[in-house]
Amino acid sequence: MPSLRPFTAVRPTRDKVHLVASRSYVSYTALQLRSKLTENPFSFLHIIHPDMTTTNLHKTVDLGERFKQVRGKYDEFLAEGILQRDDTPSLYIYRQIKAGHAFTGIIGAVSVDDYLSGKIKIHEKTIAKREETFVQYLDITKINAEPVLLMARDSKTIDDIIAQKTLERPEYDFTTTNKVHHQFWLIDDAASIEAIAQAYATQDAFYIADGHHRSSSSALLFEKHKASITNDHDPMRFCLAYILSEENVRIYEFNRIVKDLNGLSTSEVLEKLGNAFQVAPSDNPVHPHRKGEMGLYLENNWYKLSLKEASDILDVQLLTDLVLEPIFGISDLRKDKRISFMEGPKGLDALIQTVDKQGTGAAFTLFAPTVDDIKRIADAGQTMPPKSTWVEPKLRSGLVVYEF
């Protein structure tokens, strides 16, 4: 059964947490990064990318050297008291409220052995190059500041503990400029920690919702050093995780944009789509509301695509099998530069603008996979195509740091 343990976190001080915690680096534009680095000396971005300057945001240096700089900057933040280590191993309650929806779960350390034995289940393939880079990062910096997002079955025991603890004053309580409200509580009493761990231990498995590369890289790091790891409590045996009830996770679609029509005319594309779909023009943008339904934006027009024959295969896979590969000649979604992806929350207007700006190609909108889809795929030992789901909540870097 999956295990969870407390750990001694490194965290921002209460008065600076809103300045330290940052969104994922890739979510910032160059202008936003320049602003953060120039105007906010406390941002965790200074740790993640210490080689950056306000005049050269994408300076290239040797990765090993860069990761040493990350550790050096991290140590500076500790020395200056911007980050501090907790006194006691704890679990942590983190709540994120976005657009009126509250995501509430437990941050703790999960076992790498559980990942290797399949008690932490995956639904997505990982890319070896990214794994290698992150293993090197973990090995040199000895820190992990971005939890893996895991789904678990709902537990009344855990819900009751959360309900009681959140009556207390939060350790953190702040709102960020993207209008997301963040709250954070410590669980440091042995009875509550044990009750939570036992409640999770009764479940068959955790399911990765987001963070496959972080999980696999932690496992690879452990495998790299396991010959010298003799202590069952060695931090390298564990991985930083944020565990939510599966009912509390939100899953959105990842829509597809193709850059050209593979030498075909619009009429030829529509004709070929007619082999597997009922193709109907639409006066409005098509946001699919059921399985087997897709939208197509092509030459300033929308079309509704309805699958002719019902299938148990995920729509995102059917799009690859029936459309992207045979019609557009795109077989490897990880490497083909003719395809890009846009998360559902950005909206259809952003999708339209992207296609119109590139001047050629088309966009396909999809129906989002469900939690049950993810669990079914993971239980069967299968994987989804890349960029199949956009999962919320998205956690901030530097809110909690796990040290090796």
Residue-level pLDDT at 55: 45
Interval 271-293 mean pLDDT: 96
Q: Say yes or no: 192 and 266 in one domain.
A: no
352-391 per-residue burial string, b: 16 or more CB within 10 A, e: under 16: eebbeeeeebbbbbbbbbebebbbebbeeeebbbbbbbbb
What's 349's domain CATH number?
Answer: 3.30.1760
Task: Tell whether 305 and 191 lie within a shared domain.
Answer: no
Q: Which tokens is 64 given?
A: 């090993």
Residue 363 in domain: yes
Beta strands in 20-154 (DSSP E): 83-85, 91-98, 101-111, 120-121, 143-144, 148-152
**Angular region, 113: left φ>0, alpha ψ -120 to 50, beta rest:** alpha
CATH at 244: 3.90.1530.10
Q: Tens digits of per-residue pLDDT, 49-58? A: 886 644 444 5
In a domain, 20, yes or no: yes
Residue 258 pLDDT: 97
**Residue 239 shares a structural domain with residue 98:** yes
pLDDT at 61 over 70: no
Same domain, 199 and 269: no
The strand pair at 172-175 and 180-187 is best described as: antiparallel
* Predicted pLDDT of residue 182: 98
- pLDDT at residue 220 in the model: 95
* Pair 237, 278 in one domain: no
What is the model's pLDDT at position 116? 96
**Count of the separate structural domains present in the chain:** 2
- How many Cβ atoms are within 10 Å of 327's Cβ, its own excluded? 19
197, 78: one domain: yes
- Res 232 pLDDT > 80: yes
Cα→Cα distances 290→28, 283, 294, Å: 33, 19, 9
Q: Are residues 193 and 265 part of one domain?
A: no
Do 22 and 86 lie in one domain? The reply is: yes
Domain membership of residue 39 (yes or no) is yes
Question: Does a structural domain hold residue 45?
Answer: yes
User: Chain-wide mean pLDDT for the chain?
Assistant: 93
CA dist 233 and 187 (Å) reads 19
- pTM more than 0.85: yes
Instruction: Decide which of 326 and 333 is more confident.
Output: 326
Give me the percent of the chain exceeding a pLDDT of 90. Answer: 85
47 and 180 both lie in a single domain: yes
312/258 same-domain check = yes
Weakest-pLDDT range from 44-53, 103-112, 227-236: 44-53
Give the structural domain span for 30.
4-250+392-403
Same domain, 280 and 398: no
Quick one: 216 and 328 in the same domain?
A: no
Q: Is residue 198 part of a domain?
A: yes
Domain annotation covers residue 374: no
Report percent pLDDT > 70 for the chain.
97
**The one-letter amino acid at 97:** I
Domain-located, residue 182: yes
Q: What is the pLDDT of residues 119-157, one digit of tens each?
A: 999 998 887 888 999 999 999 999 999 999 999 999 999
Task: Output the DSSP codes for 327-355.
Answer: TT----TTT-TTEEEEEGGG-HHHHHHHH
